[in-house]
Amino acid sequence: MRGPTLILLPLAAFGLSGCLAKTAFDVATAPVRVASKAVDLATTSQSEADEKRGREIRRREERIGKLSRQREKLQQQCIDGNRRACDDAASIHAEIQAMLPQVPYEPGMDNPKADR
């Protein structure tokens, strides 16, 4: 009964020493990993900033498109004689004009036939 125990004891000690060494290594490198993670979370990479800017531009373009469609409907109602629709269309037009400087200009996008 003691024979197998005596054989397993050195193997267990060898296995545990590897675990202890790994634990000591993990403890020693933990502050570096934590600091590295904190710096990574605190800073924004250029690609992340570009993605965020692109999302914001697309959101503004979608909003301008929606407002433009609403303005067109209201202008048609205004032509049909609805005075309130005229006021609403003017209000929406002012909102669109306020948003336009925030969206970058892309040559050829406002006149797609000009490229042909």
Residues 102-115: pLDDT tens digits? 777 766 655 444 44
Which of these, 65, 110, 68, lies nearest to 93 by C-alpha position?
Answer: 68
pLDDT confidence tier of residue 18, bands split at 50, 70 and 90: low
Q: What is the pTM of this model?
A: 0.51
Identify which has the larger pLDDT, 30 or 75.
75
How many of the other CB atoms lie within 10 Å of CB of 59? 10
pLDDT of residue 93: 94
Residues 50-95: pLDDT tens digits? 888 889 989 999 999 999 999 999 999 999 999 999 999 999 999 9
Residue 107, amino acid: P
Domain residue ranges in the chain: 46-101
Distances (CA, A) of 97 to 86, 90, 92: 16, 11, 9
Contact 85, 77 (CB under 8 A): yes
pLDDT confidence tier of residue 28, bands split at 50, 70 and 90: confident
